[in-house]
């Protein structure tokens, strides 16, 4: 607390050369070690990234580059959390100390510096902020598709992703920075772009393709589907907003339960001006994507809304004496035990042989350890949650309107529908029927 009538200043060094500036001490809220940062694509040079602080996204600025954008980045040693109309983090080379007289150090107008980064506040954004403060029933959770790009985590709104597929071995050449070429897709040529190049991270090898409107984004990994509350998605901080144009690739930031921040990408900005050619049939807005899995040498589909996560199959399960056929065992999870069904046995299918195009190749199996090359898909339906052992989980498809039809006299009530896709019919598994018939399935667990 500064003495009455006597202002105090926190003096910091910006670089190893000892360039010093001062901040009014009353604006400094905390000193902390340098945290891990989430990069913001397309951000100005002064923005080092975002940090999670007490459940909120904190914009972290490189103070030296804020004052001189052309200066070289330095290795910071401390983070200052300061008030500039809203909390911001400032990276500095070192903290000199607290003084009543800053000496020759320039006194910074931090609110003015930060205000210069943001555009004038629009009436629409003011109304949106006012609306967030009003009481309202909890909104439905938001479905996001996780992506791994250059070793970093990103996400896209699930409803913006038309499908997920493999990158073909050969593509037709096409011009453009970051362009990988074009691939055949549903009777047309789909332009392919390296998402890592689009984000300014250089071109990295990626074997998966997320299809947006008229554009394929090559990434390293796709999934899982994240389901978060709208309150866990923070908008881009006002200090970082510029003109709101489509050149800003970040639509917001997602706070996950482990404290990590994931950058939510804007599908509109990524697709840019790509125009989608006419399609044979429109996509129905109420048709949810389908997760394609391999079971017993064939492809099957699960509604993405019922899939909670996909992971490597466990090395071992707890067996139950006199267990029903199809129950592989129980898996210890946070908050309880998860029943695990062997889907191949449950559906009375042959041994696996992943000969369907577009499915993941099995991993090398260890002798005596069948689960080494399998996947565990956790599904939930009708308040029941269980794990399904499958031979592979590969891609996401979105059927067209009218593509799903019932199967008359189905051999198994859980296989009661088929989706007619461009590469052939896909039998759909009804999780509600599958789990309702499994009397041993447990209640939802974390």
Residue 218 has pLDDT above 50, yes or no: yes
Q: What is the pLDDT of residues 420-446, one digit of tens each?
A: 888 788 889 988 888 875 445 444 444
End-to-end alpha carbon distance in the chain: 45
CATH number of 9-115: 2.40.50.180
In this structure, of 34-43, 116-125, 224-233, 376-385, the range with the lowest mean pLDDT score is 116-125
Task: Report the chain's mean pLDDT, rounded to a whole number.
Answer: 75
Q: Six-digit token pair at 395? A: 């891609």
Residue 73 has pLDDT above 60, yes or no: yes
Q: What's the mean pLDDT in 341-352?
A: 74
In this structure, of 142-156, 171-185, 232-246, the range with the lowest mean pLDDT score is 232-246
CATH topology of domain 290-436: OB fold (Dihydrolipoamide Acetyltransferase, E2P) (2.40.50)
Distance of CA 30 to the CA centre of its chain: 30
CATH topology of domain 142-271: OB fold (Dihydrolipoamide Acetyltransferase, E2P) (2.40.50)
173 vs 40 pLDDT, higher one: 40
Q: What's the mean pLDDT in 292-299?
A: 87
Residue 97 has pLDDT above 80, yes or no: yes
359 neighbors 373 (Cβ within 8 angstroms)? no
User: SS3 letters for the chain?
Assistant: CCCCCCCCEEEEECCCCCCEEEEEHHHEEEEECCCCCECCCCCCCCEEEEEEECCEEEEEEEHHHHHCCCCCCCCCCEEEEEECCCEEEEEECEEEEEECCCCCCEECCHHHHHHCCCCCCCHHHHHHHHHHHCCCCCCCCEEEEEEEECCEEEEEEHHHCCEEEECCCCCECCCCCCEEEEEEECCEEEEEEEHHHHCCCCCCCCCEEEEECCEEEEECEEEEEEEECHHHEECCCHHHCCCCCCCCCEEEEEECCCCCEEEEECHHHHHCCCCCCCCCCCCCCCCCCEEEEEECCEEEEEEHHHEEEEEECCCCCECCCCCCCCEEEEEEECCEEEEEEEHHHHCCCCCCCCCCCCCCCCCCCECCEHHHHCEEEEEEECCEEEEEEECEEEEEECCCCCCEEECCCCCCCCCCEEEEECCEEEEECCHHHHHHCCCCCECCCC
Domain boundaries along the sequence of the chain: 9-115, 142-271, 290-436
- What residue has token string 């017993």? 296
Q: What is the pTM of this model?
A: 0.50
Q: Do domains 9-115 and 290-436 have the same CATH topology?
A: yes
């Amino acid at each position: 607390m500064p003495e009455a009538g006597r202002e105090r200043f926190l003096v910091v060094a910006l670089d190893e050369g000892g360039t010093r500036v001062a901040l009014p001490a009353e604006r400094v809220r905390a000193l902390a070690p340098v945290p891990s940062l989430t990069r913001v694509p397309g951000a100005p040079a002064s923005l080092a990234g975002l940090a999670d602080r007490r459940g909120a996204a904190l914009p972290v600025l490189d103070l030296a580059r804020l004052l001189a954008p052309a200066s070289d980045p330095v290795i910071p040693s401390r983070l200052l959390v300061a008030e500039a109309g809203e909390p911001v983090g400032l990276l500095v080379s070192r903290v000199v100390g607290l003084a009543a007289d800053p000496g020759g150090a320039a006194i910074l107008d931090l609110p003015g510096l930060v205000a210069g980064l943001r555009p004038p506040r629009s009436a629409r954004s003011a109304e949106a902020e006012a609306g967030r403060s009003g009481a309202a029933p909890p909104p439905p959770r938001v479905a996001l598709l996780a992506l791994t790009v250059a070793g970093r985590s990103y996400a896209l709104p699930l409803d913006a992703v038309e499908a997920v597929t493999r990158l073909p071995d050969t593509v037709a050449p096409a011009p453009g920075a970051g362009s990988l070429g074009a691939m055949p897709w549903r009777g047309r040529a789909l332009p392919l772009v390296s998402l890592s190049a689009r984000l300014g991270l250089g071109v990295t090898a990626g074997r998966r393709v997320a299809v947006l409107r008229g554009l394929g984004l090559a990434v390293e990994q796709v999934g899982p589907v994240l389901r978060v509350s709208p309150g866990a998605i923070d908008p881009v901080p006002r200090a970082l907003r510029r003109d709101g144009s489509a050149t800003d690739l970040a639509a917001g930031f997602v706070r996950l339960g482990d404290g990590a921040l994931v950058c939510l990408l804007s599908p509109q900005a990524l697709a840019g001006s790509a125009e989608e050619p006419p399609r044979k049939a429109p996509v129905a807005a109420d048709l949810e994507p389908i997760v394609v899995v391999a079971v017993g040498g064939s492809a099957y589909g699960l509604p993405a809304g019922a899939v909670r996560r996909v992971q490597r199959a466990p090395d071992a399960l707890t067996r139950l004496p006199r267990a029903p056929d199809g129950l592989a065992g129980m898996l210890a999870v946070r908050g309880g035990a998860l029943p695990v069904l062997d889907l191949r046995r449950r559906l009375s299918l042959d041994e696996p042989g992943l000969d369907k195009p577009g499915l993941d190749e099995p991993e090398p199996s260890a002798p005596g350890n069948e689960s080494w090359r399998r996947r565990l898909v956790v599904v939930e339906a009708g308040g029941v949650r269980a794990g399904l052992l499958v031979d592979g989980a590969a891609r996401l498809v979105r059927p067209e309107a009218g593509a799903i039809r019932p199967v008359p006299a189905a051999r198994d009530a859980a296989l009661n529908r088929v989706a007619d896709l461009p590469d052939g019919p896909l039998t759909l598994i009804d999780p509600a029927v599958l789990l309702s018939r499994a009397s041993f399935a447990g209640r939802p667990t974390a």
